[in-house]
Structure 1
């Protein structure tokens, strides 16, 4: 599954694509997430202006021998005004150690001088561990190099002119290799790959990109496993709470739940505070089991205002033609709160909770999926839609979003505010 994410704050004033740490830091900031096992493309214009990032699961890249998904991804970058991209292949999250540390081993296909010649046509089978599983710790460097080769091959094959991909970094376990490519003269569909030496990944907090983000006050995504687990453990208690009846209006439940999720994710809270937060979070899920409540919550979020009226039903279509308000963009206060509420729940636990709670979580996940799509984050939208449909196969909003993401139909806005152009449109 693929997704594209517009630059939140425009191009960084200083960005070095030849430093893998700078690349990874920028990718995280643009996504407002910590991507794993992914191919990232950071779209540029003239190698000077960063416009949009795109992500595709690494497994999808390797399971696509014809390269159709890669070609579609490059065209989506063109449609967003890019004439090239910098590539980043992540094994794991790029920083955490990977079992057996496969990136320290040079690929068997490498020549003594570091050059690798890719075969004509699609890249062949990729070596995988004995269990055949490709994902997480089972990913190996050869898979990353194969993905990098496919990026270069697809970029050079673009018509009417090649897509400018100067470099692709393969990053794993805090180390990286640069992969460059040139077409082979007189041989169609064949490229020469140059695989660079292994280099250490600098601390992301020391990068210029991160320093600029801190100066601007941008939220910094962190891979904090302990904090996530603490939140999940506490939210699991909320699943079994039955709040007092009657429930407040869904807008009031949303305000209480936003404050509650912050309490549940914090250290040093008393048992009474945690219990109250669990009740307020449960209130939102119970209220969303009312058939009219999810639409009202979505329209409230679309307004981007904590006071005043939500977006009118007749105005929702027009609202989607504009960039979302800051609070419901990735990293925004409302977006982060709803994301924490949804992602702290394991859908497998819903079978043991009241039906109203399960229904409420499904509706909140569908609303978050809608915001992900509106923000051009098709990959995250697809993940959520898959979870929703696993619980409710006939959920109307999830079915609609599944169709939109399957054919990469994007909201009609871009970072520059221009209408999105589709492949085949007149230019």
Structure 2
């Protein structure tokens, strides 16, 4: 099961973790993307312990390996100080229209998996405080069938909404655990109406928004003249990345349209970066430079991953975290490389393909270093789909699915 462990600043607190809208908002702020089709778990510990918010794919949770992976996931949360958890099952993005039968099926199946996992781990595992759902624009309570009238709780409490009527779903009979029912408990507030969003604005934090597709990236990629990779190149990939970022900013900012010669110069800088990243040695050098970003100690290129696994002082700079300046630039360069691969002449594909593969691997490894295993896993899936014979994908899969953990811990 690929999972994201969300960093939490020492002063951060989860606001009303039993409220689906608030938990989704906190996940969006921390993950820098909207959580979709996932199980969110908010771990709570003793005084002075920062909260830990995790995300796991529903597709994998409901698959054949889901129960075992979920038990390992809960065990890890407990080892990291999570004495109890609030759980939220998000269907689609929580607001999209979904068939009622699908809502009930997913909530009861995923809820049953979670109840079983918590029961199997008791009393050593974390306790389950609340189990909620977010689907079809509504909040849901997923409760045992013997659950009586719910208390008058706060905005996340399991209180049926008058607007939702008496709709109830009962799970299939389960011999080894409680049968579950699903109760609609009111509308799901939009992100902008949550306390988490308001607090982020007051604190001056950036609000993550879905990145609109940028046709300029595809246009650049399709028109690039890519030189062949130079295996003996002594280029500095960090400098080339900075120059490519400046070139992209220039191309975006030139509303009036640059002269053809000036535009070609900027595109050449991007092409030089892709040609350098097509060389394995240079894209590995770029990863090392990203680890060393902003004055971090030098790292041995030969044992880079081993050091990230054993040295807890190696923490990613905000520029190389999701939503960070360099992370976003790598995503943009990957879009350019994909367009170049799709539209390049046969000779140029020998540069575009390894460049795209290198940028994908860089983002996978940065995602892994950020404890964003689900995001990294989705990139590995894309790599497998585009290159079924890839020898890199199995290694990356092992790191994200097992998973092998970086030494640093987000909430420490």
Q: TM-score, normalised by structure 2?
A: 0.77
Match of 1:38 in 2: 38
Say whether residues 1:280 and 2:269 are aligned partners.
yes
Say whether residues 1:70 and 2:70 are aligned partners.
yes
How far is 1:188 from its partner? Answer: 7.7
How far is 1:299 from its partner? Answer: 0.9
Choose 291-300 or 252-261, whichever is displaced more: 252-261
How far is 1:6 from its partner? Answer: 3.2
Quick check: 2:227–2:271 contact (8 Å CA) kept in 1? no
Change in 2 beyond 3 A, CA 1:92/1:345: farther
Say which SS state the counterpart of residue 388 (structure 1) adopts. Answer: helix
Quick check: 1:177–1:198 contact (8 Å CA) kept in 2? yes
Which is richer in helix? 2
Match of 1:221 in 2: 208
- Once residues 309 and 81 of structure 1 are traced to their aligned partners in structure 2, the CA distance between those partners, rounded to angstroms, is 30
Say which SS state the counterpart of residue 89 (structure 1) adopts. Answer: strand
Match of 1:93 in 2: 93
Quick check: 1:301–1:310 contact (8 Å CA) kept in 2? no
- Once residues 339 and 217 of structure 2 are traced to their aligned partners in structure 1, the CA distance between those partners, rounded to angstroms, is 15
- Once residues 34 and 174 of structure 1 are traced to their aligned partners in structure 2, the CA distance between those partners, rounded to angstroms, is 15
Say whether residues 1:208 and 2:200 are aligned partners.
no
Say whether residues 1:388 and 2:387 are aligned partners.
no
Quick check: 2:60–2:66 contact (8 Å CA) kept in 1? no
How far is 1:16 from its partner? Answer: 0.6
Quick check: 1:166–1:180 contact (8 Å CA) kept in 2? no
Match of 2:404 in 1: 409
Quick check: 1:47–1:84 contact (8 Å CA) kept in 2? no
**CA RMSD, 1 decimal:** 3.5
Match of 1:257 in 2: 244
Say which SS state the counterpart of residue 196 (structure 1) adopts. Answer: strand
Say whether residues 1:290 and 2:266 are aligned partners.
no
Say which SS state the counterpart of residue 88 (structure 1) adopts. Answer: strand
How far is 1:255 from its partner? Answer: 0.3
Which consecutive unaligned segments of at least 5 residues does structure 1 have?
108-138, 418-427
- Once residues 236 and 376 of structure 2 are traced to their aligned partners in structure 1, the CA distance between those partners, rounded to angstroms, is 27
Quick check: 1:285–1:360 contact (8 Å CA) kept in 2? yes
Match of 1:313 in 2: 301
- Once residues 261 and 173 of structure 1 are traced to their aligned partners in structure 2, the CA distance between those partners, rounded to angstroms, is 39
Say which SS state the counterpart of residue 67 (structure 1) adopts. Answer: helix
Match of 1:171 in 2: 134
Match of 2:20 in 1: 20
How far is 1:28 from its partner? Answer: 1.3
Select which of 238, 241, 245 maps to 2:221.
Answer: 238
Change in 2 beyond 3 A, CA 1:289/1:275: same
Partner deviation per Cα, 1:356-395 (whole Å, 9 max, x = no partner): 0221111111111111111111112222223334455676
Say whether residues 1:180 and 2:143 are aligned partners.
yes
- Once residues 53 and 110 of structure 2 are traced to their aligned partners in structure 1, the CA distance between those partners, rounded to angstroms, is 17
Select which of 135, 148, 167 maps to 2:111.
Answer: 148
Change in 2 beyond 3 A, CA 1:67/1:347: farther
- Once residues 218 and 263 of structure 1 are traced to their aligned partners in structure 2, the CA distance between those partners, rounded to angstroms, is 26
How far is 1:254 from its partner? Answer: 0.4
Partner deviation per Cα, 1:4-25 (whole Å, 9 max, x = no partner): 3232324634601232110100
Q: TM-score, normalised by structure 1?
A: 0.75
Change in 2 beyond 3 A, CA 1:280/1:404: same
Choose 211-220 or 368-377, whichever is displaced more: 211-220
Match of 2:315 in 1: 323
How far is 1:302 from its partner? Answer: 0.7
Say which SS state the counterpart of residue 128 (structure 2) adopts. Answer: coil
- Once residues 3 and 265 of structure 2 are traced to their aligned partners in structure 1, the CA distance between those partners, rounded to angstroms, is 37
How far is 1:178 from its partner? Answer: 2.1
Match of 2:357 in 1: 362
How far is 1:149 from its partner? Answer: 2.7
Select which of 117, 122, 144 maps to 1:159.
Answer: 122
Partner deviation per Cα, 1:48-86 (whole Å, 9 max, x = no partner): 955322222212222238721221221232232212222
- Once residues 106 and 371 of structure 2 are traced to their aligned partners in structure 1, the CA distance between those partners, rounded to angstroms, is 27
Choose 276-285 or 32-41, whichever is displaced more: 276-285
